[in-house]
Amino acid sequence: MAYQQLDELRLLVALAHATKGSVVHITCEDGNVYNISDNPESDFSFCEMRKLIATSMCPSRPNFTSWISHFNVAGAISYSGGGIYKNDENGISQRQFATLLRPEIVFDVLDGTDIEGISEHPVDATLTPDPVLGVTTTKISINKTADEATLDELALIAHSACLVKEMSLSLAREAKTGHRKPPVEFYKNRSRKH
C-alpha cells in the first residue's frame, strides 16, 4: 500500500469509527473482502484496524496494510464527493470529513472560516479527535431541518479551509527541512547501522 493510500485509509477508518453504524469494506490483492465495523460478526473491529494502521505508520514496524488493494465505506455513511461524507444522526442530516490536522488547529481554522449568510440557523461543528490515527473528524450539522445544498456548501467550505491549512503546514515543513515527508516504504527499505 502506497503512503498516500495509507493516509486515505487512516482518514476513512477514523471517520467510520466516529460514526455509529458505519462499515468499511477492504479488498485484498487476492480478491478477498473483509468487513470492519462495530458488529461482532465483522472480520475486524474498528479498534483492531486502527491499531494495525497505527503500527503500519511506524517506520520501525512492518506494514500490516500492504495486502490491501482498495477500500470503501458503507452503512450509516455514504461518500458525497471531495472527501465529504453524508449521514443522518437522530434524524438530523450531517456532513463529515476527516483531516490530519490536530483538533485545536481544526477549531481555529473553522473559527476563522467565513460562513456568514449561508445558513439562517446556527451551524454546529463537532470535532472528534482520534489520537491513535492522528486524525480529527468533523461533523457539520444544523439543528433545524436544513436543505441538503446548504449543508453541502458549509461542509465544502470547512473541508477546503482544512485542506488549505494542511497544505500550508506541509509546505512550511518542507521549507524548514528541505524535503517532504518520505513515504513509509523509505523507512522500511533502510538498513540500520549502529
Instruction: For 18-67, write each residue's pLDDT tens digit.
Output: 999 999 999 998 999 999 999 999 999 999 999 989 988 888 887 778 88
Does the pLDDT at position 1 exceed 70?
Answer: no
Q: Is the pLDDT of residue 191 over 50?
A: no
Position 192 pLDDT exceeds 70? no
pLDDT of 177: 79
Cell numbers at 66, concatenated: 500492504
Mean pLDDT score, 185-194: 37
Report the pLDDT value the prediction gives residue 6, as an integer from 0 to 100: 83
What is the chain's mean pLDDT, rounded? 85
pLDDT band at 194 (very low <50, low <70, confident <90, very high): very low
User: What angle in degrees, to the nearest 10, is found between the helix axes of 46-57 and 3-17?
Assistant: 150
What ranges do the domains of the chain cover? Answer: 3-177
- Angle made by CA atoms 146, 151, 157, in degrees to the nearest 5: 150
Q: Up-side HSE of residue 191: CA atoms within 13 Å toward CB?
A: 1
Q: Could you give the C-alpha distances from 27 to 4, 52, 73, 116, in angstroms and in order?
A: 17, 16, 12, 42
What confidence score (pLDDT) does residue 122 get? 82
How confident is the model over 31-42, as pLDDT tens digits? 999 999 999 999
Give residue-wise pLDDT tens across range 83-124.
999 998 888 889 999 999 999 999 999 989 887 778 778 888
